[in-house]
Structure 1
Amino acid sequence: MPDRTAPRRVGALLALALVAGTVTACGGDGTEQDPKGALQIWIRKPPGSATEQTTKDLAARFTSASGVPTRVTALFEDFETKLQQAAAQKQLPDIVINDTAQLGTLVKQGLVREVDPGIAGGADLTPISWDAAKGADGKRYAVPFSAQSFALFIRKDWREKVGAPVPASWDQLEELGRKFTTGDPDGNGKADTYGFVIPGSTKRGYTSWYATSFLWSAGGDFLTAAGGKYRAAVNSPRSVAAIDYLKKEFCTDKTVVPGAVTLETTQAHQVFESGKGGIYFTGPYNMARFDKSLGKDKYEVVPLPAGPGGKAVSLAEGENLYLMAGSAHEDGQRKFAEYAISPEGQALGMAGDTDGTIVRLPVNAKVQLASVRKDARWKTFEQIYKTAGRYTPAVPDWTPLRQASADSFNAIFADCAGDTRGALDKLATTLDEELAKQEVKG
């Protein structure tokens, strides 16, 4: 994760880059334009992956249609750090395709430029997707590109082996985890299976990311909002109960795979498909992978049951197209964004039912999911997104709040003798202090 002094340092460096020189053909920020150069596109995907190829295919089709040359770079590990390094070197790419949750950080660092939602095709995008491109000041600083929600991936063969129903409540989900841990669901006669696969590492705030849907479904929250101001709510009774529910899986039931507190998502994928754990709360992008590694008949995709809060809530996420500041290709940036959100661009990004998808759920309301994908499980995620999806709060910079929450949750799950309420009281103080720094504390 970036350090907290980096935003000011990088923003200052970029500001110097933007004002340097006297130009004849300039963009909105005074940068000399070079429409003949290749549009540099960075995407947070593993190099050599099917998703990288889909991005290259999308860029190539755009170039064919527009005549604008492109160059795609796929990066995965330490993506945000490499982006800051590029900014410090005055070598930012023109387009970045990255998580919606990064918007606040990029705006604070001065690395992205404002976007007019009236761009061609913008009116066809769903209102909720535009919300993910909105900064704390109400302006848009990105173009929505892909949306997603999350669901439970459950080993169906294990569930049938232990004679358990599809969980319709948190109690049934908890009981299924215990049966997977103690009931030898793989039939090998060894006590080597567990209920839950949890990416509990603090890296990139994974612990907080995983816990978010459970926290909201329990009626808890990170923050409460009123009049554009926020206060910490992570130590409310319902928030404490939600974190204690997860802690019980780690500490009392011991139904979580060993080492979960250091697992990142890429490692957690491997744990699930290796047969160590049977319940994994994750996104639709893993279906094609698990179909190959496990077999489509071995697992099922079901919504998270309603929690103590009376409903099920799923973290809504996705990817935005960020038009980077200081670009010499502002016209190319706009044209690429317009193509990527068009029905043709969205369909290309969806990549059918393959594991090359870079558009999980389309943000263009004119694109019918079933016309591109035949796998009915995608409809489950679409329904979850539409009925239960919720984005993180639109504070100026969510990243430090997410990281502080991840550090606290991780410590709670790792220390079974610790005081959950006391730890969350301390976290609430930290969140309030951060909100004060961002000048949005109520």
Structure 2
Amino acid sequence: MHTNLRAVAVIGVATLALAGCSATSAPEGGSGVKQDDEAVLEIWTRTTPGSPSEAATIRQVEAFTEATGFKAEVTAIFDDFEIKLAQRAGQKDLPDIVLNDVSQLGTMQSQGILREIDLDEIKNSKDLTAQALEAGKAVDGKTYGIPYSAQANALMIRSDWLEKLGLEAPTDWDEMLEVAEAFTANDPDGNGQADTYGLAVPGSTKRGYASWYFSNFLWAAGGDFITGSGDEWLPAMTSPEAIEAATWFRDLQCEAGVVQPGAPSMDTPPTNEAFESGVAGMYVTGPYMMPRFDKVLGADKYEVVPAPQGPEDASVLAEGGTVYLMAGSENEKGQTAFADWYVSPDAQKFGMEGSDAFAIQLPVNEKVDIADVRDDPRWQTFATAYKESGHYAPTIPSWTPVRQMSADTINALLADCSLDVEEELTKLDGKLTAELLTQGILKQ
């Protein structure tokens, strides 16, 4: 995977000299491309075509055009997104704007397909959360992305199961294990069958899901995958905190047996089904799942509570969408206007409206109070989790191989209970060392 990314980087660097296709005699932009303020902005969003998420983005972009006058068109792509972006880079014809995960910033910046963003030109950036501003920076300390939507995980739990068994929602890991064991052994659905489990876990290696999910527990234990800053990093999976987190997480499967069957082969779609169909009673996930679970399971069947406190704190995975301004655009003025508008109070509020999908999950503009838009207190739980406990993955040249390597190890520990945790994490640290060296950010 990393080899492929490096190959794309070679292609990407060439895009810095993209030639514009406009016949206008307007001044050149920062990349030397002749500018045309009337050029339609091509916007790619990483989501499924035809989905409610695409519809929400189109609605948001239409509002941008109405507010600013800049024309824009949305293209939704999910499958092979990176491949298609690389193809366009090779053709020297990148889209103007990409709406993609914040975790992709390092990769895209190292490929040379992004243009640096001057925050002085983004007047609304002064109101962004410190977390969002930091997440938009690459290892060189410069800004290459503007996060526009945030999300942080919380615990979704079957409230009807808690009531039937006379339990309370867990507040720490010990209580979480107790509830998970009760959900597994005490027939919370009352069907007389031993067919329920405590925790839904997407433990697949696909797209690094095992690592993605485990990160909630790793950070709550005070551990990390790698530690450092800037261009100096070291592997950290053999720290006492990481070993404790991995051991506890693996024991949910191998000792307590409270994880849904087949978890090591499941990515998120079947794991979502395990929760909503009544196979598992707890699930650490983001607010984007609520519209679906409300419809399929029923909002009266589950509640949202803060993720249980770990040995160190209650840190949870923070993610979200980011506006990336692509190199070689013939309408840099429109690009800047888009980034600025997307994080404005009006856009943030407008993007949170609706019920099926949202252009904005949690606002990143501190002037926006989620309670002013949504009267559902569950959203406030997620907003508090982001503000107080949200933990973004570190921005390095490429986070993908780090996530994938750690997912391979966590998946193996879940799938093979005979493996020694510390031994496997030691092997992982060796792989991470080599990867950090390859990326040129290993601390010497």
Q: Are the counterparts in 2 of residues 54 and 351 from structure 1 also a CA contact under 8 Å?
A: no
Q: Are the counterparts in 2 of residues 51 and 357 from structure 1 also a CA contact under 8 Å?
A: yes
What is the rounded CA distance, in whole Å, between the counterparts of 1:278 and 1:8 in structure 2? Answer: 42
What is the rounded CA distance, in whole Å, between the counterparts of 2:284 and 2:6 in structure 1? Answer: 36
Q: Aligned partner of 1:16: which letter?
A: A
C-alpha RMSD of matched pairs (Å) = 1.8
Residue pairs, 1:16-415, within 5 angstroms = 16-19=14-17, 25-118=27-120, 119-225=122-228, 229-309=232-312, 311-352=313-354, 354-415=355-416
Is the alpha carbon distance of 1:416 and 1:273 closer, same or farther for their aligned partners in structure 2, counting shifts above 3 Å?
same
What is the rounded CA distance, in whole Å, between the counterparts of 1:174 and 1:147 in structure 2? Answer: 29
Partner of 1:13: 11
SS in 1 for 2:322: strand
What is the rounded CA distance, in whole Å, between the counterparts of 1:185 and 1:92 in structure 2? Answer: 53
Q: Aligned partner of 1:178: which letter?
A: E
How far residue 393 of structure 1 moved from its aligned partner, in angstroms, is 2.0
Q: Are the counterparts in 2 of residues 247 and 412 from structure 1 also a CA contact under 8 Å?
A: yes
Is the alpha carbon distance of 1:366 and 1:332 closer, same or farther for their aligned partners in structure 2, counting shifts above 3 Å?
same
What is the rounded CA distance, in whole Å, between the counterparts of 1:227 and 1:8 in structure 2? Answer: 20
Deviations 1:331-367, CA, capped at 9 Å, x for gaps: 1111111111111111121124x13212111011111
Q: Are the counterparts in 1 of residues 107 and 398 from structure 2 also a CA contact under 8 Å?
A: yes
Where structure 2 has 5 or more consecutive residues not aligned to the other structure, the ranges are: none
What is the rounded CA distance, in whole Å, between the counterparts of 2:350 and 2:15 in structure 1? Answer: 35
What is the rounded CA distance, in whole Å, between the counterparts of 1:111 and 1:16 in structure 2? Answer: 8
Q: Are the counterparts in 2 of residues 222 and 234 from structure 1 also a CA contact under 8 Å?
A: yes
Partner of 2:435: 434
What is the rounded CA distance, in whole Å, between the counterparts of 2:438 and 2:179 in structure 1? Answer: 43
Q: Are the counterparts in 2 of residues 54 and 348 from structure 1 also a CA contact under 8 Å?
A: no
Is the alpha carbon distance of 1:57 and 1:20 closer, same or farther for their aligned partners in structure 2, counting shifts above 3 Å?
closer
SS in 1 for 2:2: coil
Is the alpha carbon distance of 1:236 and 1:93 closer, same or farther for their aligned partners in structure 2, counting shifts above 3 Å?
same
What is the rounded CA distance, in whole Å, between the counterparts of 1:20 and 1:208 in structure 2? Answer: 37
What is the rounded CA distance, in whole Å, between the counterparts of 1:366 and 1:335 in structure 2? Answer: 19
What is the rounded CA distance, in whole Å, between the counterparts of 1:47 and 1:226 in structure 2? Answer: 37
Q: Are the counterparts in 1 of residues 16 and 112 from structure 2 also a CA contact under 8 Å?
A: no
Of 122-131 and 261-270, deviating more is 261-270
How far residue 321 of structure 1 moved from its aligned partner, in angstroms, is 0.4
What is the rounded CA distance, in whole Å, between the counterparts of 2:293 and 2:331 in structure 1? Answer: 40
SS in 1 for 2:140: coil
Q: Are the counterparts in 2 of residues 286 and 355 from structure 1 also a CA contact under 8 Å?
A: no
How far residue 96 of structure 1 moved from its aligned partner, in angstroms, is 1.0
SS in 2 for 1:362: coil
Identity %: 49
What is the rounded CA distance, in whole Å, between the counterparts of 2:19 and 2:293 in structure 1? Answer: 52
Is the alpha carbon distance of 1:179 and 1:339 closer, same or farther for their aligned partners in structure 2, counting shifts above 3 Å?
same
What is the rounded CA distance, in whole Å, between the counterparts of 2:359 and 2:273 in structure 1? Answer: 20
Q: Aligned partner of 2:4: which letter?
A: A
Q: Aligned partner of 1:69: which letter?
A: K
How far residue 163 of structure 1 moved from its aligned partner, in angstroms, is 2.1
Q: Are the counterparts in 2 of residues 205 and 406 from structure 1 also a CA contact under 8 Å?
A: yes
Is the alpha carbon distance of 1:77 and 1:20 closer, same or farther for their aligned partners in structure 2, counting shifts above 3 Å?
closer
What is the rounded CA distance, in whole Å, between the counterparts of 2:243 and 2:87 in structure 1? Answer: 39
Q: Are the counterparts in 1 of residues 202 and 210 from structure 2 also a CA contact under 8 Å?
A: yes
Q: Aligned partner of 1:4: which letter?
A: H
Q: Are the counterparts in 1 of residues 158 and 302 from structure 2 also a CA contact under 8 Å?
A: yes
Where structure 1 has 5 or more consecutive residues not aligned to the other structure, the ranges are: none
How far residue 108 of structure 1 moved from its aligned partner, in angstroms, is 1.0
Q: Aligned partner of 2:91: which letter?
A: Q
How far residue 10 of structure 1 moved from its aligned partner, in angstroms, is 2.6
SS in 1 for 2:31: coil
Task: Give the TM-score, by structure 1 length.
Answer: 0.94
Give the ranges of 4+ consecutive aligned residues of structure 1 lying more than 6 Å apart after TM superposition.
none
Is the alpha carbon distance of 1:20 and 1:390 closer, same or farther for their aligned partners in structure 2, counting shifts above 3 Å?
closer
Q: Are the counterparts in 2 of residues 18 and 31 from structure 1 also a CA contact under 8 Å?
A: no
SS in 1 for 2:397: coil
Q: Aligned partner of 2:320: which letter?
A: G
What is the rounded CA distance, in whole Å, between the counterparts of 1:294 and 1:359 in structure 2? Answer: 23
Q: Are the counterparts in 1 of residues 155 and 308 from structure 2 also a CA contact under 8 Å?
A: no
How far residue 294 of structure 1 moved from its aligned partner, in angstroms, is 1.2
Q: Are the counterparts in 1 of residues 60 and 359 from structure 2 also a CA contact under 8 Å?
A: no
SS in 1 for 2:42: strand
Of 137-146 and 6-15, deviating more is 6-15
Task: Give the TM-score, by structure 2 length.
Answer: 0.94
What is the rounded CA distance, in whole Å, between the counterparts of 1:33 and 1:438 in structure 2? Answer: 34
How far residue 70 of structure 1 moved from its aligned partner, in angstroms, is 1.2
